[in-house]
Amino acid sequence: MTSSNLAAATPYVYDSSDAAFQRAVRVVPGGIYGHQGPSEGCYIPRSAFPLFSARAEGTRFWDVDGNEFIDYMCGYGPNVLGYGDAEVTAAARAQAELGDVVTIPSTTMVDFAELLVDTVASADWAFFAKNGGDVTTLAIMTARAATGRRGIVFIEGYYHGVAPWTQKLDYPGVLDQDVAGNIEVPWNDLDALRETFSAHRGQIAALIAQPYQHHNFADNVLPAPDYWAGVRRLCDEFGVVLIVDDVRAGFRLDLAGSDHYYGFQADLICFCKAIANGYNVSALCGRDGLREAVSSITYTGSYWMSAVPFAAGIATLTKLREIDGPALFRRLGTRLTEGLVDVAAANGFRLVASGEPALFYLRIADDDSLMLHQRWIAECVRRGVFLTSHHNHFINAALTDADIDRTFDIADQAFRALRESQ
């Protein structure tokens, strides 16, 4: 396939992954669901990617064929300190010795809520659940209960989980009634937001948005300098609850919340992913004015007061504070993306890195089909750098400069393979 010895020596094979997938497809719908849906038509082409992991440690995982990967997806976010972080594991085990899901909650829940209120600038309280979508749903229900209004304003191209209200009308299983009252506005457009609020005066319960536009299949877009301050003013003027979906970016930009990072204050803020280094917990945090409304909602779940994830969350946030995680992610992500852009340029490609460095998004420019980019990503993956084609990536605290150096080497091999196959 290529004349490069380095490139030729390393590409991975996935025979054991393929065999496991043949088992999976019999008993799991589609074999694997979620991002990793394995078909060649998918943006994660099956032939380039491993399908099943055998173990993970630090910033790496190994697939069932024994292939080793530097992992820039971090479990799609939860891995923020490194897989199997010793301090988080110790805290979780100590709590597990005492109890996890018990008929009445542990005071570990209170400890974790206190830590969040102390850490997150816009948090006067915390309500815990299990998934990002649990808390985005609770947020819109709270806004509706508080305002007596029904409309929700979204940013175009939004993703806030998989509850029917946040899906799209043409998605299977979704009804028109599920998404009635949903209104979309363009990102970074205060005029459009004012027009929408004006046109639906007294009818909009909430605006829900990610702190910056980290969509799939498109360069990620930071907020314009005056955008969030303007949004905050408009929400105040029209009595709209401002909900920040910090599920993906939360605790990677700023431990005080991504709203704090961009200089404003949300009314409600949704956390998940990075909150407990992979232990299963999410949190809705909010301001005092919405405490009564959130308390009025009927909302609970079978495992929602399990104590082990609370203990893991305390250990995770405590360590992120001690090491200044966000500063580390910014430094590592900046070095990585700038270096990758240089490696691309040396090979005659223009690589565009967008979004915040802690959650960088990559795209090879000058190819609207995105196929060139997808092929380069595949060449990286087959050599041990796990990236995905059209989704933002994630930095974790176990990533080292040596890992980044190795990433540059593999990226270079991948670009050379790409050139030679053109």
> What whole-number distance in Å separates Cα of residue 12 and Cα of residue 241?
49
Considering only 3, 177, 369, 422, the residue that binds a second copy (CB under 8 A) is 177
Residues numbered 238 to 267 that lie near a second copy (CB under 8 A) are 247
362 belongs to the binding site for a second copy (CB under 8 A): no
* Interior/surface letters 71-109, b for 16+ CB within 10 angstroms, e for the rest: bbbbbbbbbbbbbebeebeebbeebeeeebeeeebbebb
Considering only 110, 169, 345, 371, the residue that binds a second copy (CB under 8 A) is 110
Considering only 47, 295, 400, 421, the residue that binds a second copy (CB under 8 A) is 295
Cα pseudo-dihedral 361, 365, 370, 373, rounded to 10: -70
> What whole-number distance in Å separates Cα of residue 50 and Cα of residue 319?
31
User: What is the nearest approach in angstroms of a second copy to the Cβ of residue 12?
Assistant: 13
Nearer to a second copy, 74 or 209 (CB): 74
In sequence order, the β-bridge partners of residue 58 are: 83
* Continuous segment of H or E residues that includes residue 170: none
Nearer to a second copy, 241 or 344 (CB): 241
Quick one: which segment of 99-107, 190-198, 317-325, 357-365 binds a second copy (CB under 8 A)?
A: 99-107
Quick one: which segment of 173-181, 192-200, 251-259, 337-345 binds a second copy (CB under 8 A)?
A: 173-181
Quick one: which segment of 96-104, 196-204, 325-333, 365-373 binds a second copy (CB under 8 A)?
A: 96-104
Query: What number of chain residues touch a second copy (CB under 8 A)?
Result: 110
Cα pseudo-dihedral 39, 42, 44, 49, rounded to 10: 10
User: What is the nearest approach in angstroms of a second copy to the Cβ of residue 401?
Assistant: 22
Nearer to a second copy, 100 or 254 (CB): 100
Cα pseudo-dihedral 224, 225, 230, 235, rounded to 10: 70
Residues numbered 24 to 83 that lie near a second copy (CB under 8 A) are 24, 26-30, 32-36, 49-57, 61, 63-64, 71, 73-79, 83
Residue closest to 209 by CA, chosen among 150, 299, 109, 136: 136
